[in-house]
Structure 1
Amino acid sequence: MRNHSPYGDEARPLSSKLFHLIYLLLIIFAVTPAVAQTSGQITGRVTDATGQGLPGVTVRIKESTGTTGAVTDVNGRYRIAAASGNTLVFSFIGFTPQEIRVADQEVIDVQMRDDARSLNEVVVIGYQSVRKRDLTGAVSSISPTEANRVSANNVAESLQGLSPGVTVRSSGAPGQNSQIEIRGVASFINASPLYVIDGMIADANSTVNNDDVESIQILKDASAAAIYGSRAANGVVIITTKKGKKGAPKINFTAKYGQQRIPKQWDVMNSTQYAATKSQAYTNSGLPVPASIGSAFNTAVNTDWQDLDQRTGNNQDYNLSVSGGSDNSTYLISGSYFRNQGVLKAYSFDRASLRINTETKKGRLTFGENAMLSNSNNYHPNRGNPFYDLPQLLPTVPVQSNGFITNNNVNPMGYSTGTADNGGDVTYAYNSLAVNDLSQGYNNYAKILGNAFAQFRVFDWLDYKFNVGLEASFDYNRDFRKNGIFSYAQQPELSYIDQDRERFRNILLEHTLNFNKTFGVHNINGVVGFSEQSSYRDLTSARKTNLTVLSTGEYLTEINSAGGAPSVSGRVAQDDRIRSYLGRLNYTYNDKYLLTASGRIDQDSRFGPNYRSGFFPSVAVAWRLSKEDFFKADWVDNLKINASYGVLGINTINSYQNIGLINNSPRAIFAGDAIFGGAYQSTLYNADLRWEKRKETNIGFDASLFHDRLSVSASVYNNKSEDVLVNQVLGQFLGNAGGNPPVNAASISNKGIEVEATYRNNNNAFKWSVSGNVTTIKNKVLALGNQGVGVNYIQQGSTRSQIGYALGQWYVLKEVGIFQTQDEINNYKRADGSPIEPFAKPGDVKFYADPNGKGTINNNDRVFNGSPWPTLQTGLQFNASYKQFNVNLQLVGIFGLTIYNDIRRILDGYQNSNFRADINPWTPTNTSTTDPRLGIANGDPGIANNNTPESSRWLENGSYGRIRNLEIGYTFGKAALKPLHVENARIFISGQNLLTVTKYKGLDPDLVGNGLLQRGVDAGNWPANRIYSVGVSFGF
């Protein structure tokens, strides 16, 4: 296509002249400086502290705005043209840049100094900070800069793809917490890690403002996490918030606004397509066609339910902080506001927070606090799941109609209830737009989180610290229900309002002694301490029905305005205490040989009296080969191998599960209508209830190569969980009417490999780095406590957890094709001659059957068929900058898993639902399809028994690769900002979840799932939103 000038073709001669004129001026300006001064050749050699030549060092002229420069050769030598008065800048990764002014020298030799910031990077590992290079355990450090590039409801969501061994599962729902799994799942109940925020063990993932975070450390093995004992088996996430720094007050402001949409919708039929397809299904089964899709089909009704309930949502994130300090005192005060307006109507979340962090030094005493106050609001309907209901709803049914209005106040708004002809053709899915109006939920979470500390330097090598922490939350939940119905055959219910209030208090008291002493080539450091923590939670709830409705149709939502009888209840849901003694010892000999021993004794009130105290030890060793005299590889800066073993615990029960409870509510009526009270035992007493234990072995290495340009780390781990809690199946007559009691009886293993590598090239005007990580995890159930008697599995829906297989592995009927002829059906028999699928017809699904089984297809014919757990996880981050521009790219890849697509099971089951637009049903003239024949299950057992059961037909490849985030930014130069009295300023644009490559047919293969035992079930998972954002940041 011809490329026209925006000013017309007649402008071409003028624009051509301007081009040549500008080109000539650029040549003149480029030549002038060279004529104005005389350059000389400078040569020299760049070495490290030992006198070794450094290859690859960048040498440039500071005053030059171009790309003038040189790079040292393999011997560290360089040659550059420079004039008297120029300044040469020597830079190399891992070393402090050197600046030398040129006088009349012809030779300039430079010795580079190690950059202490690079070599001595400090990480927080729990009650102590150590140099990263001295770590003996598996610890991942996450850059908050990388994490904050994505728009996220919480800190956990922002970690996806940034660390090996860490699986993050997120929902696009506003305010929804993300789920983190570290090195696999080893429990049937709980896989969440322990969160430690500024030294406070707390449950505050969704309330911490991402912009307040200074560092994130993830402790993954026993050596790193044993200091947290009975709560660390699922890993530990340590979050440290920002502190003030010495200097004049600094004001920082950031703002980010983004618009979001769902990247994909279910492609379902419109009303005309649906009516024709469903009519054919009735005809195929020999049933009359309902009027709504036949003789009385209304072409004017064509409801696109997904479009009606979806919108362009937005994310807003604003942060303002003031920080500064003197030699003796520092402070940081920050405020933030975050809002997520969901892509579905009636869903939104907002959070406001305030943080104050201070620290003061008085001689040997240092004291301060880290305090946060947050208030969150979550708005959502309280019934149904739109991503489950919307695809099913029939396009032949309107959202509302006068025909649905009833005179008895059952459906005053006239919302449709899944049928257009009073039950002829129906769906049982909820009318999502009716739910938005009739069932309104609201949650308010107010939280205080913080700690105060006082630290006293006893000796130069010994510090005492007292730390007191508080987490307090005040939650209010409201469920407001109007008069009306929103699904077929729904029973009418009175309008009501529920109000629930919950108070939670978590208090921490700690005394610790930190020591660090060097004796010649020996260094000993570590910590010993005492900790006590108590948690208390109580709940109260109230309900009243028959709300007052004004003449305008408005409902009064104050509970006292309702006319029905009140219902009030309350209980103490949690009351427990844990007392601990902890210690860690790090020993280093000559910076070559490292030893770490740590442990914690926990005494927990939640467990039975026989196991109320537990000891959780670990030991680790490391050897820095690069320090040995025999190690002669000059290109290796640091090479360390390490190994560790330890035992961790996880306390997954509530405060009262070890106690036998009595229910005193039963009543009996005897002769004379006298009412007598009674009682029965609802839960069993278990004196042996105890922690789940995880025995962990880790072997790995860390290496820095080519003057810290390349860093590589790898670990091989083998974790075995013992005493895993399972619910023991017992008869209720034994006293467990309240449910099967938990017992410590199962065992699960997780094995895998982690590799992480980073390459940096910061020696030119164009600077770039690339980081990648790879994780493999293999999960297996080792024991279930049945001791060889009875069943050796736990069945839940379409999954089975069985000894020798992965947790929650798919256990379904296996589809082997579609019957093409009646003879094929008749000849499909078991070994005893019994028919396997006697009701099938040509076009029905054919399943694998155990030839030695009996009767028709049943649960005994199910087989293991894939796993919801990925075999390979990858992450990649690429950063590049040129002058004032920068770009960041984050990629995520998950491979080797299978997803059970329950939405497709409903759509392709042809019953009480809309259809996928691209189905291709079997017919006698269309036999090469994979979709079975159309039919109605009612009166057609072949359809009911063969085409709708839980089977491999609904299993799909869940592997995917995703552009997690792409950000492009521009940082303004200081010269341009100086007149504005602005210290720094940056603008950026970003795109999140821009592209997902997958074979999965659902909306999103990144699933939260339905609990640990049904992790890969997609029953309406809220997909990740595609977000386009623009942001700015200023510093004053």
Structure 2
Amino acid sequence: MKCFLTVARKPLQSNVLLIMKLTALFTLFLTLNVSANGFGQDKININAKKTEISGILQAIEKQTTYRFLYNNNLQGMRDKVSLTVSDATLDQVMQLLLAKTKLLYQMMNNNLIVIKEDPARVSAFVQVRGKITGEGGVALAGVSVQVKGSTVGTTTNADGEFTINVPDENSTLVISSVGYDIQEVALAGRTEIAVALVTAAKAIEQVVVIGYGTANKRDLTGSIATVKAKDIADKPATNPLSLLQGKVSGLSIVNSGRVGSEPDVRIRGTNTVNGLKPVYIVDGILNDNINFLNPADIESIEVLKDPSSLAIFGVRGANGAIAVTTKKAKAGQLLVNFNTVFGVKHVVNKMKLTNAAQFKELYNEQRANMGLAAYDYTNWTGNTDWQDEIFQNGTLNYNNISITGATEKNRFYLGLGYVNEEGVIKHEEYRKYTLNFSDELRVTKGLRFGVTMNAYRAELPVNKDVGGALRAAPIAPIYDPNGSGLFHTLPSFQRAQVFNPLLDVETQRGLTIAREYRAVGSIYGEVDFLKHFNFRAQLFADYGFNTSRSYSPVLVVYNPDITGSANPGKFDSTSKKTAVAQSQNIYPKTQMDYLLTYKNSFGDHNLTVLAGITTYYSSYEATNSSVQQGTALLIPNDPDKWYVNQVGDQATRLGGGDAWEDASISYLARALYSFKGKYLLNASFRRDGSSQFYKLNNQWKNFGAVGAGWIVSQEDFFNNVKFLNYLKLKGSWGVLGNKNIGDLYRYPAYPTLSGSSSGVFGDQVIAALTPEYIPDPNLNWETVTAWEAGFELRALNNRLSFEAVYY
């Protein structure tokens, strides 16, 4: 039902007529008490396409003083209609809105309107119920069910079920869902149906995120793996990278087990000499880590592994790339989603170590082999499993809430997250607060503007070491046997290198306050023009800020080896004076992209060309300071006093700092070409200019790659191969760059000076300084030449997928 209503108003014929009408209107306003029992003077403007009736009623409520009362389960309320009216009265709108339903409306007092079923029109409609499933009989939610030839429609619920009113029992329903073939179902007198949708052939042609855009995976010659949100939704983790463990071939994820820590990530092993980390891209923003993201806000993760996919990243592409797309609002009504996870974690396989008796036996054998007498174990009668003493069952709790809403013009998403996770070592605790916000405004069909924001605050744990528990001798007791409550020291043969493991775990509890803040956002504009062109301009900003304060107390332990009456309690101090330390750092980054894309198909040829300019700036500033007790009073164990300029002996105060900045500009281009949809050619190029080599006049470096592919399954001779649905041969070659260097080489053209041999001039000794190295005039970024060759196939009606490459 395509409904249009235009209320035309003729222009006034004269100023006199205008004055007369205004006078009459003013008189009415002063003298009459306007009743709400009629249809009022509210004018309504609506432009809705395929919107549920209940949604249109909500729009009317926002424009007028009317309120609607109806049962959400009333047949017809979920019917989708299209309605366009301008300056219409309520009566006109309601007549059009309910014309092809079995509903009627009734005006009550106080501008209340009741929507109910019209008994006289019930017989004019046939109610049809049904259920929609996908492959394997899985219920499909959100499937569109529409009466053919009309705009009457509805959608399936979470169980795949729907109810719809059709004009007659011989109507035809059009059933459609993204990723499935559209089906037309003739009712032929049936009032209950069951429909199984078939996966569309086009759904198999997966769209993946590549550098500075997206592409159909079928058209690419490289190796890109995609991990969807549904594949990682049931895996709790504070760092999104941990979710990829075991999900992608060639991707190594090694978790340290420390709460809140970043895992070691390697794509296809060790590729470069300096640094191994891949580059991360979050909604187009290049980054060094993604710990600020909430895993619940992630829509998909792409892992880019081959030269043709990575060359577009230039100097940052040698170790692979991981591209993250966060969730955005999808078309539909306002949705609120909340989920919470609670769990417990513990160490499953502890290292097998000797007990006290076994240790004594082995240690005595060692001493005998060295020609030494047996050790005196009089004071060392413990039998301690130090792993049991430091480990705990850690709890974890993840909470996420998201609010999404979308119309034809605007898409809005807001996600909030809170994480509280304990480590497997006692007193380790990590708290994380996240915010994900995005909003896109579609001004016209070809003009869009948007903004994204990811914010993060974390209370960092003080990570403890397991090494002490593995090395500490089991013959040492935990506490002073005399009941002083002090921790027991370790035997003399270990005391200088190893402390009682619980000394660090228990006495350092709550003595460090470390917080991390980060905000990553972007603003962009995008326009389509001249049919085949798209231009996108985007500004990104990333601001990080870390603070830390810590306290070092006096540490006293019980040492049974101390003799003499001067110290009858046998107290030994490993730290005799208190101290306080502070530090903070900031690391701002900005990125600007200007991208022009041309996409066209002509005859058997398909071509997509990208050209652009991107700039990137990053910097780092850090300061730190510490003060000791010295000759001053004992520094109290009170966080309010942990400031270096307020306590301690100021003569002992030390300070330091670090800073650097880096800027680059890059020109990039990429072409994706296919002929007859089966012969593929990909090429990419990037030219990077860096401020770090400006002094050497060697700031520019070129990177590029080329790839080719052949979809064999598209050839005529392949038609007789029934068990294979898809086969593609592919290969690529490229030159990639690596920018992962340590802080010592942030300015490679300016080597630092270090002490060298001193010179003697008369009675004076002059210290000499020498550069750490002599810069090579050809010094530039590390480059890697890479290539790969392989194939992709799908078989058994696309149920089996297989990909193999040699690189």
Q: Do the two structures share a fold, i.e. TM-score over 0.5?
A: yes
The correspondence for 2:674, drawn from 573, 588, 613, is: 588
Given that 1:94 and 1:707 are in contact with CA atoms closer than 8 Å, whether structure 2 keeps it comes out as: no
Deviation readout 1:838-875 (Å, 9 max, x if unpaired):
xxxxxxxxxxxxxxxxxxxxxxxxxxxxxxxxxxxxxx
Deviation readout 1:957-1010 (Å, 9 max, x if unpaired):
xxxxxxxxxxxxxxxxxxxxxxxxxxxxxxxxxxxxxxxxxxxxxxxxxxxxxx
The one-letter code sitting in structure 2 at the alignment partner of 1:118 is A
Pair 57,97 (structure 1): closer, same or farther in 2 beyond 3 Å: farther
Report matched runs for 1:232-311 at 5 Å: 232-275=317-360, 277-279=362-364, 281-283=366-368, 285-291=370-376, 293=377, 296=378, 299=381, 301-311=382-392
Deviation (angstroms), 1:552: 8.8
The correspondence for 1:153, drawn from 238, 248, 263, is: 238
Given that 2:441 and 2:448 are in contact with CA atoms closer than 8 Å, whether structure 1 keeps it comes out as: yes
CA–CA separation in structure 1 for the residues paired with 2:225 and 2:342: 30
Given that 1:216 and 1:240 are in contact with CA atoms closer than 8 Å, whether structure 2 keeps it comes out as: yes
The DSSP-based 3-state class of the residue aligned with 2:242 is helix
Partner of 1:367: 449
Deviation (angstroms), 1:477: 2.8
Deviation (angstroms), 1:436: 2.5
CA–CA separation in structure 2 for the residues paired with 1:476 and 1:429: 30
Deviation readout 1:814-840 (Å, 9 max, x if unpaired):
xxxxxxxxxxxxxxxxxxxxxxxxxxx
The one-letter code sitting in structure 2 at the alignment partner of 1:153 is T
Instruction: Structure 1: give runs of 5+ residues left out of the alignment.
Output: 1-55, 63-83, 406-412, 718-1036
The one-letter code sitting in structure 1 at the alignment partner of 2:488 is S
Instruction: Structure 2: give runs of 5+ residues left out of the alignment.
Output: 1-133, 141-168, 560-571
The correspondence for 2:800, drawn from 704, 710, 713, is: 710
The correspondence for 2:296, drawn from 211, 217, 225, is: 211
The DSSP-based 3-state class of the residue aligned with 2:587 is strand
The DSSP-based 3-state class of the residue aligned with 2:645 is helix
Identity of aligned residues (%): 26
The one-letter code sitting in structure 1 at the alignment partner of 2:729 is I
Deviation (angstroms), 1:325: 1.4
Deviation (angstroms), 1:303: 3.0
Pair 486,616 (structure 1): closer, same or farther in 2 beyond 3 Å: farther
Deviation (angstroms), 1:437: 4.1
The DSSP-based 3-state class of the residue aligned with 1:164 is coil
CA–CA separation in structure 1 for the residues paired with 2:344 and 2:137: 45
Report matched runs for 1:947-958 at 5 Å: none
The one-letter code sitting in structure 1 at the alignment partner of 2:599 is N
Given that 2:439 and 2:452 are in contact with CA atoms closer than 8 Å, whether structure 1 keeps it comes out as: yes
The correspondence for 2:499, drawn from 415, 430, 453, is: 430
Deviation (angstroms), 1:353: 0.7
Deviation readout 1:285-339 (Å, 9 max, x if unpaired):
5433333x1xx2565x433322221111011111111011110110101110112
Pair 311,583 (structure 1): closer, same or farther in 2 beyond 3 Å: same
The DSSP-based 3-state class of the residue aligned with 1:233 is coil
Partner of 1:227: 312
Q: TM-score, normalised by structure 2?
A: 0.70
Deviation readout 1:227-272 (Å, 9 max, x if unpaired):
1111100001110101112222100111111101100223334434
Residue 602 (structure 2) pairs with residue 602 (structure 1): no
Partner of 1:509: 592
Residue 660 (structure 2) pairs with residue 574 (structure 1): yes
Partner of 1:38: none
Residue 782 (structure 2) pairs with residue 699 (structure 1): no
The correspondence for 2:402, drawn from 317, 321, 339, is: 321
Given that 1:659 and 1:684 are in contact with CA atoms closer than 8 Å, whether structure 2 keeps it comes out as: no
Q: TM-score, normalised by structure 1?
A: 0.55
Deviation (angstroms), 1:178: 0.8
Partner of 2:88: none
Shifted more, 233-242 versus 688-697: the winner is 688-697
The correspondence for 1:650, drawn from 713, 729, 738, is: 738
Given that 1:61 and 1:88 are in contact with CA atoms closer than 8 Å, whether structure 2 keeps it comes out as: no
The correspondence for 1:377, drawn from 459, 481, 495, is: 459
Deviation (angstroms), 1:142: 1.2
Deviation readout 1:393-414 (Å, 9 max, x if unpaired):
2233233328899xxxxxxx84
CA RMSD of aligned residues (A): 3.8
Report matched runs for 1:691-770 at 5 Å: 691-717=781-807
Report matched runs for 1:675-690 at 5 Å: 679-690=769-780
Report matched runs for 1:493-572 at 5 Å: 494-546=577-629, 556-564=641-649, 565-572=651-658
Pair 225,434 (structure 1): closer, same or farther in 2 beyond 3 Å: same
Deviation (angstroms), 1:525: 0.8
The DSSP-based 3-state class of the residue aligned with 1:229 is helix
The DSSP-based 3-state class of the residue aligned with 1:443 is strand
CA–CA separation in structure 2 for the residues paired with 1:636 and 1:523: 25
Given that 1:667 and 1:677 are in contact with CA atoms closer than 8 Å, whether structure 2 keeps it comes out as: yes
The DSSP-based 3-state class of the residue aligned with 1:630 is helix
Pair 126,496 (structure 1): closer, same or farther in 2 beyond 3 Å: same
Deviation (angstroms), 1:424: 6.8
Given that 1:661 and 1:682 are in contact with CA atoms closer than 8 Å, whether structure 2 keeps it comes out as: yes
Pair 287,196 (structure 1): closer, same or farther in 2 beyond 3 Å: same
The DSSP-based 3-state class of the residue aligned with 1:338 is strand
The one-letter code sitting in structure 2 at the alignment partner of 1:628 is E
Residue 501 (structure 2) pairs with residue 418 (structure 1): no
Deviation readout 1:634-653 (Å, 9 max, x if unpaired):
44433222121111111123
Partner of 2:476: 397
Given that 1:58 and 1:91 are in contact with CA atoms closer than 8 Å, whether structure 2 keeps it comes out as: no
Report matched runs for 1:539-938 at 5 Å: 539-546=622-629, 556-564=641-649, 565-607=651-693, 609=696, 611-632=698-719, 633-653=721-741, 654-662=745-753, 679-717=769-807
Pair 58,303 (structure 1): closer, same or farther in 2 beyond 3 Å: closer
Given that 2:380 and 2:476 are in contact with CA atoms closer than 8 Å, whether structure 1 keeps it comes out as: no
Report matched runs for 1:466-481 at 5 Å: 466-481=537-552
CA–CA separation in structure 1 for the residues paired with 2:210 and 2:286: 13
Given that 2:172 and 2:187 are in contact with CA atoms closer than 8 Å, whether structure 1 keeps it comes out as: yes
Given that 1:594 and 1:621 are in contact with CA atoms closer than 8 Å, whether structure 2 keeps it comes out as: yes
Pair 59,401 (structure 1): closer, same or farther in 2 beyond 3 Å: closer
The one-letter code sitting in structure 2 at the alignment partner of 1:622 is G
Given that 2:553 and 2:637 are in contact with CA atoms closer than 8 Å, whether structure 1 keeps it comes out as: no
Partner of 1:764: none
The one-letter code sitting in structure 1 at the alignment partner of 2:228 is S
Deviation readout 1:466-495 (Å, 9 max, x if unpaired):
111111100113342212267999975632
Given that 1:261 and 1:343 are in contact with CA atoms closer than 8 Å, whether structure 2 keeps it comes out as: yes
Deviation (angstroms), 1:209: 1.0
CA–CA separation in structure 2 for the residues paired with 1:416 and 1:111: 70
Given that 2:735 and 2:783 are in contact with CA atoms closer than 8 Å, whether structure 1 keeps it comes out as: yes
Pair 707,566 (structure 1): closer, same or farther in 2 beyond 3 Å: same
The DSSP-based 3-state class of the residue aligned with 1:386 is coil
Greater C-alpha radius of gyration = 2
CA–CA separation in structure 1 for the residues paired with 2:137 and 2:223: 37
Partner of 1:445: 516
The DSSP-based 3-state class of the residue aligned with 1:578 is strand
Partner of 1:743: none
CA–CA separation in structure 1 for the residues paired with 2:578 and 2:653: 14
Pair 566,360 (structure 1): closer, same or farther in 2 beyond 3 Å: farther
Partner of 1:348: 429
Shifted more, 334-343 versus 388-397: the winner is 388-397
Matched pairs, number: 620
The one-letter code sitting in structure 1 at the alignment partner of 2:474 is P
Given that 2:538 and 2:592 are in contact with CA atoms closer than 8 Å, whether structure 1 keeps it comes out as: yes
Partner of 1:134: 219
Partner of 2:58: none
